[in-house]
Amino acid sequence: MKMSDRLRGGRTAFFAIAFFAFLPVFGQAQERKEARDARFEHDQVIVTFRLNSDWGEGYQADVTIENRTAQVLPDWQLSFRIEQPPANVWNARIAKTSGDLYTFDAQSFDWNKNIPPNGRVSFGFIGAKGGLTKAPWDFAFHYAGAESSTPAATPTATPTATPTATPTATPTATPTATPTATPTATPTATPTAMPTA
């Protein structure tokens, strides 16, 4: 056997060992990445969040909104919570934020703000402050003309005041004055003069 054959055989064995040694690491990394993907099903849409890459100090993700209906869904809005803030968004914008809750829409993107019947739109972004350890959560979807997906507060019945009976004053009997008997004057006898002898 030639020396070159032995070298080629050695290199082949080395690369084979290196390749199969790499497979478990790659498989674990893929499983970790997929564990941070998310899928949200709404009456009108299916939303898919896919983490494409994560380098520890940041990440890149894509979001797809698939229309399940036969009608256009105009001026869509999608919100969800995510542990690391998105930045550098394309094909959409961050409309508002509240803590870790982000709301996206495509008001400035005419080609992307309406979801066609049985069609889809997508957007992506880069997170600049670190990687993800879990998938996004608390998804909510809304579009123009639809009722809000946030449940309305249940109205509380206002109690009707129970009327309080006003007591009727008990009439007080006015005492009748007891007539005082007027005393009858006792006649005084007029003395008769005695005749003088």
pTM reported for the whole predicted model: 0.60
37-142: CATH topology is Immunoglobulin-like (2.60.40)
140 closest CA partner among 77, 79, 66, 68: 79
* pLDDT of 1 higher than 50: yes
Q: How far apart are CA 90 and CA 103, in angstroms?
A: 14
Beta strands in 68-189 (DSSP E): 77-81, 86-90, 93-98, 101-105, 120-127, 137-142
Compute, in degrees rounded to 10, the torsion defined by CA atoms 138, 143, 147, 150: 20
Give the model's pLDDT for residue 146. Answer: 81
Read off the pLDDT of residues 30-82 as tens digits, 9 standing for 90 and up.
445 567 899 999 999 999 999 999 999 999 999 999 999 999 999 999 999 99
68-91 tens-digit pLDDT: 999 999 999 999 999 999 999 999
Phi, psi of 34 (to 5 degrees): -65, -30
Looking at per-residue pLDDT, the higher value among 85 and 159 belongs to 85
CA distances from 63 to 10, 141, 148, 151 (A): 46, 13, 21, 25
Question: How many alpha carbons lie under 13 Å from residue 91 in its C-beta half-sphere?
Answer: 16
pLDDT band at 153 (very low <50, low <70, confident <90, very high): very low
E strand or H helix at 18: helix 3-34
Contacts of 120 by beta carbon, 8 Å cutoff, 6+ apart = 64, 65, 66, 67
